[in-house]
Structure 1
Amino acid sequence: MDHLKNTGREVIIAILPMTAVIFVLQFTVIWLPAEMFLQFLIGVVMVGLGLFLFLIGVDIGMIPVGEMIGSALSRLGKAGLVILFSVILGIASTVAEPDVIVLASQVDMVTGGAIPKSVLIFTVALGVGIFVGLAILRILLNIPITYLLIGGYSLILILSFFTPTEFVPVALDSGGVTTGPMTVPFIMALGLGVASVLSGKSASSDGFGLVALASVGPVIAVLLLGVMYS
Structure 2
Amino acid sequence: MQNVRETITEVVQAVIPVTVIVIILQFTIIWLPMEDFLQFIVGAVMVSAGLIFFLLGVHIGLLPIGEMIGSALPQIGKVWIIILISFLLGFVVTVAEPDVRVLANYVDTVSDGEVNRHLLIYTVALGLAIFVGLAIMRIIFDIPIKYLLMGGYLLIFILAIFVPEQFISISFDAGGVTTGPLAVPFILAYGIGVAAVLGGRKTTDNGFGLVALASIGPVLAVLILGIIYG
TM-score where L is the length of structure 1: 0.98
1:117 partner letter: R
Q: Distance in 2 between matches of 1:111 and 1:33?
A: 29
The aligned residue for residue 42 of structure 1 is 42
Could you tell me how far 1:229 is from its partner in structure 2? 1.4
The 5-angstrom pairing of residues 1-230 of structure 1 reads 1-230=1-230
Q: Which runs of 5+ in 2 are unaligned?
A: none
RMSD (Å), alpha carbons: 0.9
Further displaced range: 61-70 or 24-33: 24-33
Q: Distance in 2 between matches of 1:114 and 1:30?
A: 34
Contact 1:191–1:203, Cα closer than 8 Å, also in 2: no
1:136 partner letter: I
1:218 partner letter: P
2:53 partner letter: L
Q: Deviations over 1:120-177 (max 9, x none)?
A: 0010000000000000000000000000000000000000001111110000100000
Contact 2:140–2:199, Cα closer than 8 Å, also in 1: no
Q: Deviations over 1:5-63 (max 9, x none)?
A: 11111001111111011010011111222222111111111000000000000001000
Q: Distance in 2 between matches of 1:228 and 1:37?
A: 43
Q: Distance in 1 between matches of 2:205 and 2:212?
A: 11
1:125 partner letter: A
Q: Sequence identity, in percent? A: 57
Q: Distance in 1 between matches of 2:202 and 2:43?
A: 42
Number of matched residues? 230
Q: Which runs of 5+ in 1 are unaligned?
A: none
1:163 partner letter: V
Q: Distance in 1 between matches of 2:156 and 2:136?
A: 21
Q: Distance in 2 between matches of 1:108 and 1:34?
A: 30
1:172 partner letter: F
Contact 1:7–1:56, Cα closer than 8 Å, also in 2: yes
Q: Distance in 2 between matches of 1:27 and 1:112?
A: 35
Contact 1:159–1:223, Cα closer than 8 Å, also in 2: yes
1:115 partner letter: V
Q: Distance in 2 between matches of 1:7 and 1:51?
A: 9
Could you tell me how far 1:227 is from its partner in structure 2? 1.0
Q: Distance in 2 between matches of 1:62 and 1:185?
A: 7
Contact 2:195–2:206, Cα closer than 8 Å, also in 1: yes
Could you tell me how far 1:205 is from its partner in structure 2? 3.0
Q: Distance in 2 between matches of 1:197 and 1:100?
A: 31
TM-score where L is the length of structure 2: 0.98
Contact 1:195–1:201, Cα closer than 8 Å, also in 2: no
